[in-house]
Structure 1
Amino acid sequence: MSGVADLLAAARVKCLTIATAESCTGGMIAAALTDLPGSSEMFLWGAVTYSNPAKRSMLGVSQMTLVTHGAVSEEVAREMAQGALARSGADIAVSITGIAGPGGSEFKPEGRVCFGIATADETRTETVEFGALGRDAVRLAARDHALMLLGQAVGVPGSEP
């Protein structure tokens, strides 16, 4: 957990607060952030929005975006991150939506995970194809990637992919 400790320490020094919006990880990012004492200074808010209705009601994700692009898309990850940022009042929000497995389709395979990272100045998104590693491994890899994105956002040295 030294990476999480470094992330939280950097956020503390810079007086930055964090929010999360999670789907396929079911709260694993928030859990990793809150495992350490003192994290309440930096971690403000977390939402587990596993269903599309939850994404809409809790984060303000557009029904049109969900219909047009599907829940596992950078467009939805963008709206999730922006919704978490706006609703929490945090300085940085990370979002995650994906297919941990088992399952998937030809167009959205198992192991595809979309991420969003939002600040007041910008929102970035990306998709990572972790592959069919199995549900637990995909979820852990996705959690770790989201923590790396947060590390980049707060300027933790060595948080490059």
Structure 2
Amino acid sequence: MNQYRPDVVAWAADNYENCRSIFTELGERPDLMRADPISALRRIESELSAGWQPNAMPDEEWVQFRTFLMVVLAEFLISYHGARWEWAVDPSSPLGGRWTVAGFPHPLGQETRPVDVGGIVNDTRSMDDVSFVGLVNRAEAESGMREISG
């Protein structure tokens, strides 16, 4: 079996550039996500509160919206938490893996889990409204970053 071997550095750079383009299109400074992730979070939350309804979108529009959400969610996690893109081997995937965001810090130094950003975003397809803060909270919870066990 020929397993796909992604270029993580190129993937990360492309997503960062996509994020910069998104903020430019929104009339913001391109580096807002890296320079001030909390302001970027607020700007995306404001954009989503303008009435985006994924469950009512035609397929082509949904794909664009999904890409938008995946890019900004991943870049927020990377910028705010110092996480990184990572390729996770997954034999159930047609490509043999999937893109995740990993490397979350835990306040007690415990191990955290990679987050399937695409999977989180896919779940918005059936929603009436999408909250960016809600997506961030879910990603942080899935990472185990806020779990304390002892």
TM bucket, shorter chain:
0.3 to 0.5
Normalized per residue, which structure has more strand?
A: 1
TM-score, normalised by the number of residues in structure 1: 0.31
TM-score, normalised by the number of residues in structure 2: 0.33
Point out the structure with max Rg over C-alpha. Answer: 2
Normalized per residue, which structure has more helix?
A: 2
